[in-house]
Each structure stands twice: as structure tokens, then as C-alpha cells.
Structure 1
Amino acid sequence: MIKVLFENHHLYYLPNFIPIMSEMNRRGEYEIHASIPATMPEEEKAIFYKSCNELNIQTISNDDEAKRNQSIKDSAYDVVVVGNVGQLNQIVNDKTLAVMVYHGIGLKQSYYNDIDSRIDLRSVESESRMSELKAHGHQNLVLTGFTKCDPLLTLDQEMKLGSLGLNHNQKTVLYAPSFYPTSIDQFLPILGKLSYETNIIIKLHNFSWYQNQYAYQSEAISKLDSAFENIYLVPPKDYNIIPYYGVSDLLVSDISSTMFEYLYMNKPIIMAECFSLRLKHRLFHKRFLMKIDQERMEAVDFAFRLDNAEDLPSLVYHGLEYPMDLENERLAAQTQYLSRVDGKASSRLVDAIAEKLLEGHP
């Protein structure tokens, strides 16, 4: 059996890895373990361990982070899969095949900068990103598609709006903002009004729950959830947004990866450009722009763009009434940003891993 470890720097990396784990399990040649840093919040770790248990995935844990890292290294895994560089060099040995499946495909420059020469194989979601990474000097790339989206091809509709306390006679908006920069502050006064005529499911970023500087976001949205019956805040234990794509009719996001993932659904998308920036980024705007992939952001033509929060209701109503608007752009964007939407990204990646191992690499 080939021993594989999935290193989850945060809980929200797990949805990217689950389809890969499933494909490896299907092939029956892999012994799969998963781990999360000891330094993560206790609630986040508890959800992670519970989820892995439900998936029948063994976990590696230790309350001491240095001991956890050493335990993983001593286990001499044949393959270690990561979602960022993180602790990579502390947990691999010389013979380990190090694989990166980057945790996000949004608009942040970290996609290109969070890399290490120790990566032996990197999964890439599109040809355009392959070209960009090569231009940045990256090697060992394999074009796979985005593994997180594989389940969307066969997504069942078991989740019902009624089970979320929402009105099944109304259209449903999925609001999935980033933690920073974020549209949350601008939309807080608007979402309640919007919910009178639509259901709103709000899926916050992991950091909005577990990072102190962003916790105000989950606190503010929790108040909205309590005050308006047609608003549903996805609890942190439901860390995977994929099932919510299926029950929604339209996505509202900002710079989040969700905007690109949702292309799989060929449903309307609204891209909010009304951000609340930190003082230093308002004073030194170029510092903020350096963190954003401006070329990728400016190229987005498959979404309705919004720079005034007050216009959100009218744009939502338009998108729901005319869902075919921008369909041609969305279909073209599927290829541009996701390569293939065939549910086989994980299969292609596992093929590439098997080939590397067969070659005796590294």
C-alpha cells in the first residue's frame, strides 16, 4: 500500500482533498491519513477530526506541534499532499513525493508566491494558470482541473431549503464573501432588506469564525440570521460550501475562489467590488493592489460587477429574472478558469501521482 498524508493547514482545505481521498480509496492502493496543525483553534480541530472519522480517514495528532511534525516525518509517507507550503519541509523526508493542491483559485497573488522548491508535483486548474505559473518559474506542474469541484458533476439534491428554515417558494441567493478584503461591512445594512423577497444563504470564510481580527464578521452575520427568517448562516461545522451551490440560484461574492468554482453550475454570479479596506491600504493603496491579481480581476466578464452596495437588490433581482444573461461568457469561462468540468480532476491528479511514483521520483 502507498502511504499518503493530507496535511490540512486549516479545516477549509479539506474540501479540496476529499475528492482526491475518494479517488484513492476507489483504486484500493492507498493507505490514507490526514492531519491538522496543533496550533489551530480547538473547535476547528474538533470539526476536522469528526469529519475525518465520518470519512473513515485516520488522523495524526499531537498537542505539541513539533512532536506532530516529527511523528509525520518519522512515518515516512510515500506521498504528502498540501494546500500551501506551511509545514511542508518539517514533515517530508528525502523520499517523500510532495504534492500541492493549492487551497484557493481566487484573486490573490499568494497563488503564485506560496511555493517551495520541495514541491514535486503541483495540481493546476487551468491552462491559463499553467502559463502564469511557468512564467513565474514554477515547474513540476500537471493540468488537472480543480479537485474541489469534482462532486458538482454528480451533486445530489438531498439538501432541501425547508431543512434550513427557508422558503422553498422563493429563489435563493448564496452569499460567500472573503474575509479580507471583504464586502461584508458594505452589505450588512442591505442583506436584511433583500431577504424579504429572496432566501439568503451566507457561507463565511473559515477565518471569519476562528481568527480574532475577523470574528466580528460572524458575530454581525449571526445577528442578521436571528433577525430575518429568510437568512440562513451556514454554521462552522458545515465547512464545505459545495452542497450549497446546488440549492442556490445565484452567487454573490467578492474576491473569493467561490466565484470561479460556481462557474461549474452555469448560474448567475455577482462580483462585489465594494470593499472595506484597512487604513494602511486606504492610505497606501498600491500595497493593497500588490496583493491582488489585477489582470485576472479585470478579465472577469462572466459576472455582474457591483461597486455600490445599494445596487445589490436590483442586480440580484435582474440576475434571478434573467439567468441566461452572460451565459455565453460563463461557458467560455468554464474552460478558461477550470479547464474541464467533467468531475475528473482528482482522477487526473492521482494518475499523475502514480506516474511519478512509478518513475521512482523523487
Structure 2
Amino acid sequence: MISVLFETHHLYYLPNFLPIIDEMKSRGIYSLSISIPKTINDTERFYLKKISEAKNLEFLDGSSEDSRQRKLRKRKFDVVIVGVPGMLEKIVSDNSLAIMVYHGIGLKHSYYKDTSHRINIRAIESEMRYKELKSQGETNLLLTGYTKIDPLFQDHTKLNQKNLEDLNLNSQKKTILYAPTFYPSSIEKLIPYCTEFAKKYNLIIKLHGFSWNQKRYKHHIIIAEKISGKGIYLVPKEDYNIIPYYSISDALISDISSTLFEYLALNRPIFQTTFFTPRLKHRIFKSRLRKRLDLDRSEKINFTYVLDNPHQILLEVKKVLNDNDTLFPHREQALKNFLYQTDGKASSRLVDAIEDKNK
């Protein structure tokens, strides 16, 4: 059996790994384990352990972070898969095949900075990004597509399909998914307009994992819980996977989140907010915030309906959903640019490459 460790630095990385886990299980030659750093909060660790039990994965832990790392290193896994370099160099053995499936594909510059000489294969979601990283001298690249969205193109039993009625939403109304990032986020400015919006449309709010688990974003939960109900469904924190909510929504609203690009796979309308509430230091030193963002990638976005003011939400969404979706062809082209082969087989391509390396 080929021993595999999934090192998930946060719970919200897990949807990238689940299709890979399912693919490996289907081949019957892998023993699968999962772990999360002790430095991560107890809530995420608790839910990951529950998920590992449900998925029949070995959950590995330690009495301290040092002991956890020693335990993982001692196991000498054949394959170690991460979503960010993080603790990678401290847990791999000399002979481990180290894989990175990066946890996000949005507008943050960290995509290019988060790397390690120890990574043997980095799975890449698009030809555009493949060429960019190759031009920077990266040699460990594998063009696979984005594993996270594989379930959208597979048997719906793998998708854990949601039902609007189960969410106390009206199946006769169109459904909008609102998925803000944690920072810089549109949520503080948009939430006051959501109650009125929900009189016309179902609204599903999917907060970022950091909004649930980091104290500095606790106010996101407070303002979202305050308006939930009566046409507004707030996805609970234990429901970490956004993918099933893509399939039941008619459009997406987001800001700089990876969801802007993931949702292209369905070629449904995407609304992008440009308003947010910056921290004080970013109000004073605006260039610091700009350095966090991938401005070149942002300038390539021509497939979203831009919302410059929160009061536009109802009018703009209504206009587009009433048969005035002019950006349909732009999304078709963007899909080719930003996502490689949306055929549900990104995970299969990655596992094939792992097996080639292990021959």
C-alpha cells in the first residue's frame, strides 16, 4: 500500500483534498492519513477529526506540535500532500513525495510566494498560472486543473447535493450565493442591504473559515447571524465545503475570493463587489494593502458584473437575472483562461502523476 498523509493547515483547505481522497480510495492501493497543526484552533481540529472518522481516514495528532511533527516524520509517508508549505519541511522524510495543491486561486499575491524547495509536484489549476510560474523558474509544476471543483462534474452523490427546502428557502425563487473573503471583505457594507434583497431572492451566505475561527473577524458572524432567516440562510461553521452550494445557486456575489474563479465552472452570473472596510493601517498606508493583492490578475477579470456601491445589489442582480446576462461569452473565455479542463478529472490526473513518480 502507498502511504499518504494529507496535512491540512486549516479546515477550509479540505475541499481541495476530498476529491483526491475519493480518487485514491477508488484505486484501492493507498492507506490514507490526515493531520492538522496543533497551533490551529480547537474548533477546526474537532471538526477535522469528525470528518476523518466519517471518511475512514486515520487522524494523526500529538500532545504538542513538536510531538505531532516527530510522529509524522517518523512514519516516513510515501506521499505528503499540503495546501500551503507550512510545516511541510518538518514532517516529510527524505524519500517522501511532497505535493502541493494550493488552497486558493483568488486575488491574493501569496499564491506566488508560498513555495518550498521540498515540493516535488505543485498541482496547477490553469494554463495561465502554469506559464506564469514557469517563467519565474518553477520546475515542479503539473497542469491538472482544480481538484476542488471536480465534484461539480461527477456523480451528484459525491456532491452531497443540497435542497433549498431543507435550508428553509423558497424553491420558486432564484438563489444567490454570497461568499465574501475574510479581508479585505465586503460583508460589513453589504449586510445592511441583504434583508431587503431577500424579499426578492433566496440568499445563501457562506462565510470564510477565518470569519468563523479568528477573533478579529467575529463581527462577521454577529452581523450575519442577525439577518439570517426569512429567505437568508447562513451556512453553519461546521459546513466547511462551499461546492454543494454552487450547484443550487443561480448567481454568485463575492469580492476578491477564489470563488470568483471557481464559479466560472458553471458559467452562471458573477457579481464582484469593489467596496470593503479597510483596517486603520491600510487606510493610512494604502500601498500595504495593494501589495497583498495580485493586481495583474485582477486587471484580467472582465467576466464579473461590478458592484461599486452596496445599494446596487438588488437592481443589478435583478437586471442580469431577467435575461440580460451579457457576460455569458466573457465567462466562457475566462473559463478557458483561468481553469484547465473542467471535466471532473483533475484529481485523477494528479494521482496518475503520483503513481508515475512512485514506479
In which range does the TM-score fall when normalised by the shorter chain? over 0.9
Distance 1:155 1:254, change over 3 A: farther
SS at match of 1:98: strand
* Residue 155 of structure 1, CA deviation: 5.7
Distance 1:72 1:322 in 2: 54
What aligned pairs does 1:12-161 form with structure 2 within 5 A after superposition?
A: 12-154=12-154, 156=156, 158-161=161-164
Identity of aligned residues (%): 47
SS at match of 1:26: helix
Distance 2:196 2:7 in 1: 42
Aligned-partner residue type, residue 295 of structure 1: D
* Residue 54 of structure 1, CA deviation: 1.1
**TM-score, length basis structure 1:** 0.96
Q: Does 1:204 align with 2:207?
A: yes
CA contact (8 A) 1:112 1:136 kept: no
* Residue 135 of structure 1, CA deviation: 2.4
* Residue 63 of structure 1, CA deviation: 3.4
Distance 1:72 1:339 in 2: 33
Point out 4+ residue stretches in structure 1 off by more than 3 angstroms.
none
* Residue 28 of structure 1, CA deviation: 1.2
Q: 2:187 aligns with which of 184, 188, 209?
A: 184
Distance 2:136 2:223 in 1: 40
Tell me what 2:222 maps to.
219
The superposition leaves residues 170-227 of structure 1 with CA deviations (integer Å, 9 ceiling, x where unpaired) of 11100000000100011021111101111100000000010011111112101111xx
Tell me what 2:353 maps to.
352
Q: Does 1:174 align with 2:177?
A: yes
The superposition leaves residues 334-353 of structure 1 with CA deviations (integer Å, 9 ceiling, x where unpaired) of 11111111000001111111
Aligned-partner residue type, residue 223 of structure 1: K
The superposition leaves residues 139-174 of structure 1 with CA deviations (integer Å, 9 ceiling, x where unpaired) of 210000000000001363842111001111111100
SS at match of 2:99: strand
Tell me what 1:164 maps to.
167
Which sections of structure 2, spanning at least 5 residues, go unmatched? none
Tell me what 1:263 maps to.
264
Tell me what 1:234 maps to.
235
* Residue 87 of structure 1, CA deviation: 0.5
Distance 2:161 2:335 in 1: 25
What aligned pairs does 1:304-323 form with structure 2 within 5 A after superposition?
A: 304-322=305-323
Distance 1:78 1:152, change over 3 A: same
Distance 1:63 1:249 in 2: 46
Tell me what 2:197 maps to.
194
* Residue 308 of structure 1, CA deviation: 1.1
Root-mean-square deviation (Å): 1.2
Which sections of structure 1, spanning at least 5 residues, go unmatched? none
Distance 1:89 1:9 in 2: 14
Tell me what 1:280 maps to.
281
Distance 2:192 2:235 in 1: 19
Distance 1:121 1:321, change over 3 A: same
CA contact (8 A) 1:155 1:243 kept: no
Aligned-partner residue type, residue 9 of structure 1: H
Distance 1:87 1:248 in 2: 36
CA contact (8 A) 1:155 1:246 kept: no
SS at match of 1:173: strand
CA contact (8 A) 1:146 1:338 kept: yes
Distance 1:298 1:176 in 2: 21
The superposition leaves residues 252-275 of structure 1 with CA deviations (integer Å, 9 ceiling, x where unpaired) of 000000111111111100011111
Distance 1:35 1:206 in 2: 18
CA contact (8 A) 1:124 1:143 kept: yes
Question: Number of matched residues?
Answer: 356
CA contact (8 A) 1:190 1:310 kept: yes
Aligned-partner residue type, residue 51 of structure 1: I
**TM-score, length basis structure 2:** 0.97
Distance 2:170 2:304 in 1: 26
SS at match of 1:31: strand
* Residue 102 of structure 1, CA deviation: 0.1
SS at match of 1:300: coil
* Residue 324 of structure 1, CA deviation: 3.9
Distance 1:115 1:46 in 2: 28
CA contact (8 A) 1:4 1:31 kept: yes
